[in-house]
Structure 1
Amino acid sequence: MSRVLVWLRNDLRVADNPLWCVDTPAETMLCVYVLDRRWLTPWRPGDARARIGPARLRFLWESLMALRGELLVRGSDLLVCVGDPVDELQGVLRRAPADVIRVREDPGWQESDDVQRLASRLPSAVKLETVSGGTLFTREQLPFSPGALPDTFSAFRRRVAGLAPRPSRMAPVTLPPWPDEAPRGLPPLARVSPEAAGWRVDPLGGPWPEGGERAGRERLQRFLAGPLDHYRDTRNALLGDDVSSRLSPWLAWGCLSAGQVMAQLAERPADDDAAVTASREAFVDELLWREYFHWAARQDGAALFGEHRLPVAHEPALEAWCAGATGVPFIDAAMRELVGTGWLSNRARQNVASFLVKDLQVDWRLGAAWFERWLVDYDAASNWENWRYVAGGGRDPRRDRYFNVMRQALRYDADGDYVAHWLPDLASLPPGPARHAPWRHRPARFGRPWVEPEAWRTVMTSSAVVTGQ
């Protein structure tokens, strides 16, 4: 029998978690989560705000508390530390020695580097096991080597068509006991981050997505019970709690696994309604996009995050974008929703990213880092790969990829309900184009935007967004 230390990272659940599956019976099992001290350092040089923002940290702490409850009823417990992951784990091992350390293989470069650093410091008697997980398919299932990942998502989807996702495991009834000599518990959130402890979700946002495995399962069941059937038609909507799955926060932190989602989806009977079938296929495509980016991040390594350190210089355009103060309602509404709730629809994410990079000409990595700070569903692979995609690099590179924000606004928020929701001053304007270009409708009241690209002018003219109309 062995003494096992389970190093938890983005796998905060008991069901379908391969970390519990040890080859031989364990005498004891110590479960540790380390909040990386680097997440509490500035999100970019010269800015005191932390890499991990209050919304994201609050969701994480809720998930950790929920996980601890699940572990306690199974005879185990949880220890949460704050610091350098390798230093903290070595400190735990000095108090409670282990024979085996188990950790999931994650796609982030820093996460991979932490595993290598730990391996280099362990005595030869301690075995470090990296466990495959976090993806729908195993490395062995892929019909290509990880280094030969297709360059585009379409090619990837064709290659994996017909593959069966790895089976989803039930939660263990019991777990090996906690070592008597090991510390346990987690520090209060207020001690870790006063900002996060005092943060409250903006009442203009929808319901807060409470962290934890149980809440994730409930959200999944709610989505499968109805919203899934119209997902293809509503997924680009900007307002409404049930217009998309909104499962990504629990997937990002591992409170749910993609395999669990696919398993629950497979249990739904087939439907003869073509629209329902199309919605189901569209949802599976989104899970495959996540899968593709996770394998891409493993291949890209440190290159995923760009070649150089983030710029230090103060950029007024970046600050205006972060604050939702660019003067472009479609952008400002989205950025205020992000900071007020930690959430943003996929349609809005694409638009604010394109606007920052293509219209404001700001380094894309700064936008990705701001999303890293705020998004409750942040994960390194999906966030950074998506930003590279919008910027015209990375996978499926197209330098001319551009979102015409005005055209997008008039298509996906035709009446301006979304922008008026987050920018109440716009509610005094008539529904429609005027809310998206208020400087043309009432120039004395609404100042000109930060930029007004020529590509917008044709759209605004054809939509009669002119003074007095």
Structure 2
Amino acid sequence: METALVWFRTDLRARDNHALAAATEAERLCCVYCFDPRGFGSREYGGTNSFRYEKTGSHRTRFLRESVADLRTSLRELGSELIVRHDRPEAVVPELASAIDADFVSFQATSTPEERAVERTVTARLKRTETNPDVESFRGHTLYHPDDLPVPVARIEDTFTPFRRTVENSDATVRPTVEAPSALPPIPEVAGTAAEADASASAGALDPGEIPTFEALGVEPATQDERAVLRFEGGETAGLERLERYVWKRDRLREYKETRNGLLGSDYSSKLSPWLNLGCLSPRTVYEAVERYERERVENESTYWLVFELLWRDFFQFQFEKHGTQPFERDGIRHRADIHWRSGTDGESEEEFERWKRGETGIPFVDANMRELNETGYVSNRGRQNVASVLANDLRIDWRKGAAYFETKLVDYDPASNYGNWAYIAGVGNDSRNRSFDVGWQAERYDPDATYVKYWLPELDGVPGEKAHEPWTLSPDEQERYGVTLGEDYPEPLTQWLGSNE
């Protein structure tokens, strides 16, 4: 090939990037990333019972901007450049390919329907350009390549355990990573024989461009709460540093299974999800780190469990590839028409939904997790399950509204993992059994002294631990003694929730 174009998506890395590796054989190389306007601002949730929500909030926008900046730095150090555009990929990629006379275009394929639709449109438009380049997509967002699964994606089980056993009991292997290139081909030059107008247009097409500001993207600038368990810095550099710190410097992998349900602190779990979901790290890179750790330090249930979690992540990716848009429907892949969902947009349910979002339900364990989410863009897996269960199973508010709110707020949002987990908890996804959580029991189990609750709800700081999880049980004398008045300093619990938990 003479001139290659790499379209970066959720693969913002140089290491273990097959789309980039395939293009290094070219004589000239151009790399591009598009801030798609459809991913920002207010939009309507499609399908029946639509509602509006913010697609991408401040925390993930910050992480994305940092990740693109880090990728640009890496590519420049390798002798290349990252062209950045604030436009739709189907407009940018074919135009850029024509401007540089590309004969090869590569990108990372995805599993979810909206993203796959963009892939198809980009590919179709590339084929209609005068140069008609070869177009190749690569799989790099999952641990296992779909071609290596023991069964085709369309035939994988709809529940996790049979899927896991099928994979683990087969001869399926994880493909090895590819190293980051030591150098990249030079960027194309404007052809001297081109007409002056065409040359000028081509030169403009090759302008690196600026990373869009928060204002240009229509997003409020991010502020980092000092109480955050970790400052999630975007980019491959920070992702590799986090992996190194967690696995090797702090040696926390050996106890991952025992500590992963912790609520406070930076190292009780790996917290690699933001870098994995945006592709700053590949799951194969994490897998190889675990393998090396097992060879050099210890192999135990905890080391297995981190790979187990990567397989859960794969499961949701393949499920969404299998089922298309159905997992985003209110009735889910189980077609659960027997559940009466409240809309969250009328009367009492609207007020309850707004209180849930603000972390003002009057249920301390829920409120603490929601406030952490709002202020930092992150919340533990244990917290996510509990707040989702309250909204979907106790309040019976349309689970998709909660999933959409998470989509806005999470720094580590991934469509398959987010909506897959929400549907799972709501009983319309990959397990139709009752997944309702006893929040009171969960709070006592995972936050026995209410340390986490008081950390995010300082208004309850004076309340003893045994009472802090159930402040509605405080008598007027106790409220005065502990310095908290229900309904003023801290809200009364939601009536709907309290009634269903008496």
Query: TM-score scaled to structure 1, two decimals?
Result: 0.91
Q: 1:25 corresponds to which residue?
A: 25
The CA distance in 2 between the partners of 1:73 and 1:211, in whole Å, is 18
Conservation of the 8 A alpha-carbon contact between 2:41 and 2:218: no
Please state if 1:134 is matched with 2:141: yes
Conservation of the 8 A alpha-carbon contact between 1:359 and 1:453: no
1:281-296 aligned at under 5 Å gives the runs 281-296=304-319
411, 428, 440: which is aligned to 2:445?
A: 411
* 1:325 positional shift: 1.1
Go from structure 1 to structure 2 and tell me whether the alpha carbon gap of 1:65 and 1:311 turns closer, same or farther (over 3 Å shift). farther
In structure 2, list runs of 5 or more residues that go unmatched: 190-202, 332-341, 480-484
244, 247, 272: which is aligned to 1:221?
A: 244
Q: 2:345 corresponds to which residue?
A: 313
Q: 1:3 corresponds to which residue?
A: 3
Instruction: Deviation per CA, 1:87-115: give whole Å up to 9, x if none.
Output: 22234335333222211111121110001
The CA distance in 2 between the partners of 1:337 and 1:253, in whole Å, is 21
* 1:145 positional shift: 0.9
Go from structure 1 to structure 2 and tell me whether the alpha carbon gap of 1:257 and 1:29 turns closer, same or farther (over 3 Å shift). same
Q: 1:427 corresponds to which residue?
A: 461
172, 188, 208: which is aligned to 1:184?
A: 208
* 1:373 positional shift: 0.8
Q: 2:426 corresponds to which residue?
A: 391
Please state if 1:341 is matched with 2:399: no
* 1:337 positional shift: 0.3
Conservation of the 8 A alpha-carbon contact between 1:62 and 1:211: yes
Q: 1:460 corresponds to which residue?
A: none
322, 325, 330: which is aligned to 1:302?
A: 325
Q: 2:56 corresponds to which residue?
A: 52
Instruction: Deviation per CA, 1:231-284: give whole Å up to 9, x if none.
Output: 1111111111100000111001111000001111111245897xx712112212
* 1:212 positional shift: 0.8
Please state if 1:208 is matched with 2:208: no
The CA distance in 1 between the partners of 2:14 and 2:410, in whole Å, is 24
Give 3-state SS (helix, strand or coil) of 1:130's partner.
strand
Conservation of the 8 A alpha-carbon contact between 1:7 and 1:102: yes
Give 3-state SS (helix, strand or coil) of 2:325's partner.
helix
Go from structure 1 to structure 2 and tell me whether the alpha carbon gap of 1:89 and 1:228 turns closer, same or farther (over 3 Å shift). same
Conservation of the 8 A alpha-carbon contact between 1:64 and 1:212: yes
Conservation of the 8 A alpha-carbon contact between 2:40 and 2:219: no
Q: How many residues align?
A: 452
Compare 177-186 and 215-224 and name the one that shifted more: 177-186
132, 155, 159: which is aligned to 2:162?
A: 155
Give 3-state SS (helix, strand or coil) of 1:428's partner.
coil
The CA distance in 2 between the partners of 1:436 and 1:360, in whole Å, is 19
Instruction: Deviation per CA, 1:1-27: give whole Å up to 9, x if none.
Output: 332111111000000000123278312
Aligned identity (percent) is 39
Q: 2:183 corresponds to which residue?
A: 174
The CA distance in 2 between the partners of 1:32 and 1:50, in whole Å, is 25
Please state if 1:69 is matched with 2:76: no
Go from structure 1 to structure 2 and tell me whether the alpha carbon gap of 1:259 and 1:204 turns closer, same or farther (over 3 Å shift). same
The CA distance in 1 between the partners of 2:127 and 2:272, in whole Å, is 40
The CA distance in 2 between the partners of 1:404 and 1:35, in whole Å, is 41
The CA distance in 1 between the partners of 2:66 and 2:51, in whole Å, is 27
Go from structure 1 to structure 2 and tell me whether the alpha carbon gap of 1:174 and 1:372 turns closer, same or farther (over 3 Å shift). same
Conservation of the 8 A alpha-carbon contact between 2:230 and 2:266: yes
Please state if 1:241 is matched with 2:273: no
Look up the equivalent residue of 1:160 and give its one-letter code.
V
Look up the equivalent residue of 1:40 and give its one-letter code.
F
